[in-house]
Structure 1
Amino acid sequence: MKPLVWITRQLPEEGIAPIRAMAEVKMWPSAEQPMPVEELKKAAAEADVMWVMISDQMTREIIENAPKLEIITNLAVGYNNIDIEAAKENGITVTNTPDILTGTTADLAFALMLATARRIPEAEREVRAGKWTGWSVTQLTGMDIHGATLGVVGMGRIGEAVARRGNGFDMKVLYHNRTRKPKAEEQYGFEYAELDNLLKESDFVVLLTPLTPETKGLIGKREIALMKNSAILINVARGGIVDEHALYNALENKEIWAAGLDVFETEPVPVDHPLLSLPNVVVLPHIGSASIRTRNNMMAKNVESIVTYLQGKEIQSQVK
């Protein structure tokens, strides 16, 4: 009897063909809508392999009621949607997509920096609404990126990629990380800073740390109060890192200049969320890795992990 692979979102057939050749495959019929929780539970209960998306919450309850499950493959580099400890306790391997989406996510971080600093979405809305009546000296003036100070919180692969892009804009680059990066400091001129100092000195604060119990709520009322009135906060990591209520109040009261958000604590973000009412917030639907090439490469990495498992070989991209 072939092992059963459950895929929680409809994916291109050409991509999953190598799996179909080796296993029975069941796939949720929607490319856009996630599996309901009850369906996810049923799938995990019968699967040998679960291929999940970041919207699928693989909780301890689901994992402990999945007697055949041996591997969870996650279409993301982050894996806070999976209870890793429960997986380890039950002998389940978890894989992700490291080293693939670094450049693409760094590009999006810079896109948000540019969009918020130069008020690009706001300006575009004015043109479409017929509100552009002529040129003026103060019309939609924003902040410069070139020559500004960039503060990167979380200096992993993506953080370093964002910091290198900052060098290209003649930015002074500060970073905060659990461990220092002496090679990057020497090669690129990045400067390590304690978090409070980074928040005080930076014109742009870019969050790129994973969501863990230690980083949940890392940026709250106290931290935002340390930032310059002209500073911009960019979050392309995970929503729970930022206290969204505190961020709303700071933006509403013009305590910081703007925010660019690709992630939210609740996703999809409710349309009545207070942050969506503010003109100085640029919001995106979690598209950090959403280039065609990168998403195809992410799927290929997941397929590689599943095929390697089905062949009984050691999987390389395991979450430790």
Structure 2
Amino acid sequence: MDRAEKRHKLLVTRKLPDDAEAAFAKAFDCQFNPEDKPYTPDALCRAADGCFGLAITSMDKFNADLIGKLPASVKIISTVSVGHEHIDLAAVKAKGLVATNTPGVLTDATADIALLLILGAARGAYWGERMVRENRWPGASMVKPLGHDVSGQRLGIIGMGRIGQAVAKRARAFGMTIHYHNRKELSPAEAEGATFHATLEGMLPHCDFVSINCAMTPETKNLINARTLALLPKGAIVVNSARGGIVEDEALISALTSGHIAAAGLDVFAGEPNIDPRYRDLPNVFLLPHLGSATLRTRTNMGLRALDNLTAFAQGKAPRDQLT
């Protein structure tokens, strides 16, 4: 990278893995956030003054008001995430900015978490571990406690993109039958025998498990609600490794309490980290703190993918992951 490119100033809003930050520092004149404390909107605008770009994360909420106040020097917003619902893309476009994301590099890590949620919810990982840790294991019994089978069951996948397909690949190793609902039907080679359902309502009655892997959009907000949960067979299991807002908490908690939904595995929540506190008291819910992409290699590669987009832009090229 030449000297002219190295003079570009860049604001990195949150702490990234060390190897990613080292690569950023080599490429640009970076202002990092070593304490990993969230910026207020005003503080962010002050820090961004003179910067050509921002490297942000899904924890940073870029609404229209904040985007409108960004310094004129800012030309690109590169989010270190595949999801981009935290950015008002219409406002980005209206201001003449470029936004990018980091698809692909977190597929495997997130699909692994989805399988962990399926297994953890079905086999009682939460209550089983508590029994051992709290010395409440009653000893051998043929009737309690009992979990639910995974092998040979029917899995419905909502959103059959990269991550959904990776979940399906892993689930096939357990002999699960795959159903999916997607905006469009996959090719036979991509589907690998999975059954396509043009509507969510058409798929849910055929599911012992549901894995949520779609993007968070206005159309998918509260997609899993009292009406759609009622379409699932009694005793079905719901897992969510996508975004919390896709699930209506009140409806899921009610279905878990009534027993219509046997268990749930949740890695994401509306309003996280301030989740609905009722989830903590439900023994049939396996909870994780948004660990989908949380491996060192994956988070490093996400940072490097964002850096690739920023570097291309600084060189006058079109970033490969451009959203606007």
TM-score by length of 1: 0.93
* Structure 1 partner of 2:283: 279
Q: Deviations over 1:19-76 (max 9, x none)?
A: 4345332122323x43334423433455321111101001111111112211111111
Q: Deviations over 1:87-130 (max 9, x none)?
A: 11112111111111111111110000000000012101111111
Structure-2 change in CA distance of 1:304 and 1:226 (3 Å): same
Work out the CA distance in 1 between the residues paired with 2:38 and 2:310: 21
SS in 2 for 1:232: strand
Work out the CA distance in 1 between the residues paired with 2:303 and 2:255: 39
Aligned length: 317
The reply to whether residue 221 of structure 1 matches residue 222 of structure 2 is no
Structure-2 change in CA distance of 1:65 and 1:36 (3 Å): closer
The reply to whether residue 96 of structure 1 matches residue 96 of structure 2 is no
Q: Deviations over 1:162-193 (max 9, x none)?
A: 112221111111000111113246x6110012
Aligned residues of 2:126 and 2:285 also touching (Cα < 8 A): no
Work out the CA distance in 2 between the residues paired with 1:311 and 1:199: 48
* Structure 2 partner of 1:114: 119
Aligned residues of 2:17 and 2:300 also touching (Cα < 8 A): no
Aligned residues of 1:184 and 1:190 also touching (Cα < 8 A): no
Work out the CA distance in 2 between the residues paired with 1:16 and 1:156: 29
Structure-2 change in CA distance of 1:256 and 1:22 (3 Å): closer
Work out the CA distance in 1 between the residues paired with 2:278 and 2:261: 16
The reply to whether residue 311 of structure 1 matches residue 315 of structure 2 is yes
SS in 2 for 1:227: coil
SS in 2 for 1:73: strand
SS in 2 for 1:35: coil
* Structure 1 partner of 2:84: 79
Matched residue type, 2:105: I
Matched residue type, 2:147: G
Identity %: 39
Matched residue type, 1:51: A
Aligned residues of 1:44 and 1:63 also touching (Cα < 8 A): no
Aligned residues of 1:19 and 1:306 also touching (Cα < 8 A): no
* Structure 2 partner of 1:297: 301
Aligned residues of 2:17 and 2:299 also touching (Cα < 8 A): no
CA shift, 1:252, in A, is 1.2
Residue of 5, 8, 22 corresponding to 1:3: 8
SS in 2 for 1:192: strand
Matched residue type, 2:218: P
* Structure 2 partner of 1:191: 195
Task: Answer with 6-15 or 200-209: which moved more.
Answer: 6-15
The reply to whether residue 48 of structure 1 matches residue 48 of structure 2 is no
SS in 1 for 2:84: coil
RMSD: 1.8
SS in 2 for 1:206: strand
Unpaired runs of at least 5, structure 2:
none
Work out the CA distance in 2 between the residues paired with 1:182 and 1:124: 42
* Structure 1 partner of 2:251: 246
Displacement over 6 Å in runs of 4+:
none
Unpaired runs of at least 5, structure 1:
none
Residue of 60, 65, 83 corresponding to 2:64: 60
Aligned residues of 1:28 and 1:35 also touching (Cα < 8 A): no
Q: Deviations over 1:121-146 (max 9, x none)?
A: 21011111111121101222111111
Aligned residues of 2:17 and 2:296 also touching (Cα < 8 A): no
Q: Deviations over 1:253-293 (max 9, x none)?
A: 112101111111101134x6212221111111111011221
Matched residue type, 2:155: L
The reply to whether residue 208 of structure 1 matches residue 218 of structure 2 is no
Aligned residues of 1:105 and 1:158 also touching (Cα < 8 A): yes
SS in 2 for 1:257: strand
Q: Deviations over 1:233-254 (max 9, x none)?
A: 1111111111111111111111
Work out the CA distance in 2 between the residues paired with 1:282 and 1:166: 18
SS in 2 for 1:122: helix
The reply to whether residue 164 of structure 1 matches residue 174 of structure 2 is no
